[in-house]
Amino acid sequence: MESSHKGGTGLQRLLDATRHSIAGLAEAARHEAAFRQELLLAAVLVPLGLYLGKTAVERALLVGSVLLVLVVELLNSAVEAAVDRISLEEHPLAKRAKDLGSAAVMLSLVTLGVVWLLVLAG
């Protein structure tokens, strides 16, 4: 059985997907403290990356590494929400899922740091 949220074609599907994406960003900003912190970081680093990058590739690396953190945080938050929807009871698999999501966020932050260091150190 397929979700009732799936379906539509063409322009309507694109409009629906956009609406759902904006709703997801709003939910993350409203309910996820880590996402809000990373948004503030992005508000500083994205313009800074555009300014400090000497070439289009450098600007893409600097900005892309910041956006990667936001993407991974959204996916981590989605995993946590799905796990919590299933059960709030402590379980080794739930812990593993949440720890793996957290590790992914940490690695995206390390990637951001390495990219910025390498690009700016030239």
Catalytic positions, please? 73
Residue 35, exposed/middle/buried by CB under 10 A (0-12, 13-18, 19+)? buried
For residue 87, the SS3 value is: coil
Q: Are 41 and 66 within 8 A, CB to CB?
A: yes
Cα 90 to Cα 28: distance, rounded to the nearest angstrom? 23
Buried b / exposed e along 68-89 (16+ C-beta atoms within 10 A): bbbebbbebbebbeebeeeeee
- Residue 115: which of 71, 51, 68 has the closest Cα? 68
